[in-house]
Amino acid sequence: MKRTIIFILLFSIALTAVSQSKKRGRVKRKYRNVEQVSQNLPQVIMRGLVRDAARIPIAGAGIEIEGLTKLVHSNEFGQFMLSGLPTGRLRIRVSCLGYQTRTIDYVLQPGFNDHYFTLERGSIPLETEIATTQNREKQISDIPAAVSVSTQLNARILGITDFSELAVLEPGLHFEKLGAGNSGFSIQGANASSGFPGLSPSVAVFADQVPVSQPGGFSAEWFDMERVEILKGPQNVLFARNALNGAVHFISKKPEDEFGGYISAGAGNFSNKEIQAAVNYPIVEDKLFVRAAGIFHDQNGYVENTFGGTLNGKNVLGGRFSVRFLPAWNHKIDLQLNYQKSDDPGTAFINLWVPDENGETGLFDYRASLNRGEDLGSEAERMDATLTYRFFRDEHNYWTSVTSFRKNNTAAKWDADGTSFPALEMNNETNANLFYQEIRYNFMRGSFTNGSFGLNYFQEKGNLSQSLISADEMINQILSSQGNFTMPGQSRFPVQPKPLNPNPMANFPLSGNHNEAFSDKRKTHSAQAFLHYTYQWRRRLFFTIGASAIYDRLQLNHESEFSGGETSSLGQFSGAAPNLIYSPAEQQELKKNSLSFTGQAGLTYRWNENFNFYLNAARGRRPQVLQFTWDGKPLITGSETVYSGEGGWKTIIKKRIFWDVNGFYRRHFNVQTLQWNGEPGTALLAANGKATSYGAETGLKVAVIPGLNVFGNYAWMQSAFDSTGLDGKDFLYAANSFARAPEHSFSAGFSAKARIVQKMWIFAAPWYAWQSHFWFTEANTPGIEQPAYGVLNVNFGIEMADPDLVLSIYGTNLLEEKYIASAGHWGGQFGMPTFVPGAPRMFGAKLTWRF
């Protein structure tokens, strides 16, 4: 019954939005707090364009009429339309973050009224930040949610070149890369499950309106990007099935109607070499434009492998070709083609307690002894094509179709035990094909209601093949070595010494060389219907609701085999014998269909263009996961649910200060967590826990004087699992904190620019980021943790105006802070966790020519 009522409400609102007549009978209007009620008034419409002093359109600017419940935002072309207006003199206000507010008195006549607005930057402007998190362009000061934007300009000033640096800058955001085809984001403590393919992420990643669900589906490089939008909290309504804890949206630069581009070349330590270039060319004026961009980045690893080669480096080659076609004023067609290939050296998975070939232990001599030498490494090849078509009925009412096909292939070889012993060596290959189609309608009625509704379909077919070579004797030798780390109460093997049994595995038969393999074939079909609706009830009061229905069809085919050598005796403890990980089994099939609903609601009080206060509530969901237990039994891990409440404000002071504050409280149910005990009947992932998280974040940006800007961000968070699970029994992780959830984190810095001679400037942008202690797993195991640490980065150089040249010198982690980038991994499943050291000090120089 509830589902039927929800569908009826969604359909009724959508039908009203589309079919409402342009002609109105009795219209109630308000101007300067004076009610005017008339019948049969002529239609009065105002249309216009918002642009800057250089006549460049400004998207996301707010246009409102004093005294009326009329507020719209300019579209991607800077255009706007206000309808249902009275005739006569009205006062119109146009505002946008980074510009001076423009106010004019305008006499409206019956019919269409046209006017262009030019906004001035002012002598000390803030940076303009526009986002499309609500499926339409808005300045972030008008978006009632925890949203942050990193623009191309901001990245260039601070010297950000990949998403790991962006994550350091943004409190609450973590980025983990474990090779060319294995990376992921986590937000406010949600585990990204990097390193374990097949597990559903809790943060949705989108690239130009298309979901990227595979860990290897996107590059870590900041490459010809317009901006990156980061949304925190449940976002399932507009960002689909994986947006339980937030979303990250990459938006690349699009072709424009003018010739231009850039070439950038740089070099640095660890034999770093990088080249980026892009060119924009208008083929037919105002009709057809193209843009081509390319990247090459090669860097040796910063960890030496005593068996040969280096670890934790990169080798990336890629390109992008984009076309924009405007056949008529109300048609826009975008085609984008991407190709990228990465061939990285191996990842430095290091055991902290077993000495390397030189007899030393630890991470921060940046040396490892991984016995496979230069054979270690990872590869990823990505190709995609996206066609976006938009049909405008007018400036704010339009249809959008997004069609995309993506293909990802990855391969990796790594040393899972992190030592010089051939104890546990793994290889895997993945390939995935993704098809995505969305049809969306953006609507605005009467200039006081707006929103979007639509349907999308997501299909993904992925194959994972993983093989391993292990030796029980070697694993036991590592576990029994002096000072070795074990996971108390969670190791799947009885390796912990006891007074009456100092060597519990002394009489246990241990095998030598063992080979096994397993493969997973996954098919995901997901269809979503969604609605997002905002109603301006009063001049300063807005209500927002959103709802989505998602139908999933999941299928997993699993097969495992004993492929050679001796049988693994250690597999008996998890029921996997004669294998170590998965019990041998012929191909098995597991299917699951489900229908789920998520929603959100919000209230916004907009005092004026300089102050917003908001309250939001949302229900988020992370989909079910199909698995097979270690002993070969099918297992469906339940969906995770989050109920979230948040509130905050955003304010602009004197057009020189932007301050935003957000606080949140969330209840988590059926939390999906990694398991480490390996008992029979269990699998890699479990979902039974309940938890609570709450916290607050604030950000400040100040334009101090011309050429000097200061920024700072701070986040505070608490999280804890309940003492009992959903089944009422004591929960394994009771009172533990979320993984990757520091209690405190902040970043701060400034950018300064001063003219030294005519047409030449010097600039500098230092920034520092710090975070308190956090755990790498929900088990909160002592030793698998990161103490508080901070990094200092700087970017400085010289800029010229004619020619447009920039010479920049950069440095990251200048204080040589020792920190862990990642910990746990597959080795942790067998009581011998591995650790990846964070990058040491890096520096280099870059020359960029813009034309």
Q: Report pLDDT digits (tens) over 167-197.
A: 999 989 999 888 888 888 889 886 555 567 6
Strands 102-108 and 111-119: unpaired
Q: How confident is the model at residue 331 (pLDDT cuts 50, 70, 90)?
A: very high
pLDDT at 747 over 90: yes
pLDDT at 273 over 90: yes
pLDDT at 815: 96
Tokens, residue 98: 């980074």
Q: How confident is the model at residue 828 (pLDDT cuts 50, 70, 90)?
A: confident
Query: Of 777, 782, 772, 770, which Cα lies nearest the Cα of 737?
Result: 777
Tokens, residue 179: 């090779």
Task: Count Cα neighbours of 183 within 13 Å in the Cβ-side half-sphere.
Answer: 25
Q: Using CA atoms, how far apart are residues 113 and 370, in angstroms rounded to an integer?
A: 72
How many C-beta neighbours within 10 Å does residue 762 have?
A: 14
* Higher local confidence (pLDDT), 435 or 14: 435
Tokens, residue 182: 């294995």
pLDDT at 327 over 70: yes
Buried residues in 715-748 as b, exposed as e (16+ CB within 10 A):
bbbebbbbeebeeeeebbbeebbbbbbbbebbbe
For the chain, the residue count is: 851
Q: Using CA atoms, how far apart are residues 489 and 495, in angstroms rounded to an integer?
A: 11
Average pLDDT score over residue span 744-760: 96
Q: Using CA atoms, how far apart are residues 176 and 192, in angstroms rounded to an integer?
A: 8
How many C-beta neighbours within 10 Å does residue 509 have?
A: 9
Q: Is 684 helix (H, G, I), strand (E, B) or coil?
A: coil
Contact between residue 496 and residue 486 where contact means Cβ atoms under 8 Å apart? yes
Q: Using CA atoms, how far apart are residues 305 and 373, in angstroms rounded to an integer?
A: 7
Average pLDDT score over residue span 200-226: 86
Average pLDDT score over residue span 583-608: 95
Contact between residue 772 and residue 744 where contact means Cβ atoms under 8 Å apart? yes
Average pLDDT score over residue span 564-575: 88
The helix (H) or strand (E) run that includes residue 376 is none
Q: How confident is the model at residue 218 (pLDDT cuts 50, 70, 90)?
A: confident
Q: Using CA atoms, how far apart are residues 440 and 75, in angstroms rounded to an integer?
A: 16
pLDDT tens digits along 24-68: 333 333 333 333 433 455 789 999 999 999 999 999 999 999 989
CA 846 to chain centroid, in Å, comes to: 27
Burial of 637 (0-12, 13-18, 19+ CB in 10 A): buried
CA distances from 659 to 142, 695, 794, 832 (A): 13, 17, 24, 46
pLDDT at 376: 96
Query: Of 280, 165, 184, which Cα lies nearest the Cα of 222?
Result: 165
Average pLDDT, the chain: 89
pLDDT tens digits along 634-648: 999 999 999 999 999
Q: Using CA atoms, how far apart are residues 266 and 275, in angstroms rounded to an integer?
A: 6
Q: Using CA atoms, how far apart are residues 717 and 14, in angstroms rounded to an integer?
A: 38
Q: How much of the chain, in percent, has pLDDT values that exceed 90? A: 74
Q: Using CA atoms, how far apart are residues 222 and 228, in angstroms rounded to an integer?
A: 9
CA 473 to chain centroid, in Å, comes to: 42
Start-end of H helices in 282-327: none
Tokens, residue 56: 């460049």
pLDDT at 8: 40
Before 211, cis peptide (omega within 30)?
Answer: no
Average pLDDT score over residue span 328-352: 95
Least confident range of 4-8, 186-190, 571-575: 4-8
Beta strands in 510-577 (DSSP E): 513-536, 541-565
Question: DSSP letter string over 22-75?
Answer: S--SEEEEEETTEEEEEESPPPEEEEEEEEETT--B-TT-EEEETTSS-EEE--
Write down the residue that tokens 């019919």 correspond to.
111
Strands 789-800 and 804-812: antiparallel
CA distances from 16 to 9, 82, 450, 829 (A): 11, 19, 12, 55
pLDDT at 194: 57
CA 279 to chain centroid, in Å, comes to: 27
Q: Using CA atoms, how far apart are residues 184 and 191, in angstroms rounded to an integer?
A: 9
pLDDT tens digits along 142-153: 999 999 999 999
Q: How confident is the model at residue 123 (pLDDT cuts 50, 70, 90)?
A: confident
* Higher local confidence (pLDDT), 289 or 478: 289
Burial of 231 (0-12, 13-18, 19+ CB in 10 A): buried
CA distances from 500 to 496, 504, 690, 838 (A): 12, 9, 38, 41
pLDDT at 7: 42
Contact between residue 97 and residue 139 where contact means Cβ atoms under 8 Å apart? yes
pLDDT at 2 over 60: no
* Higher local confidence (pLDDT), 31 or 828: 828
Helices (H) and strands (E) in the chain — how many of each?
6, 49
Q: How confident is the model at residue 372 (pLDDT cuts 50, 70, 90)?
A: very high
Start-end of H helices in 678-835: 825-828
Contact between residue 167 and residue 155 where contact means Cβ atoms under 8 Å apart? no
Query: Of 519, 523, 521, 520, which Cα lies nearest the Cα of 434?
Result: 523
pLDDT at 35: 33
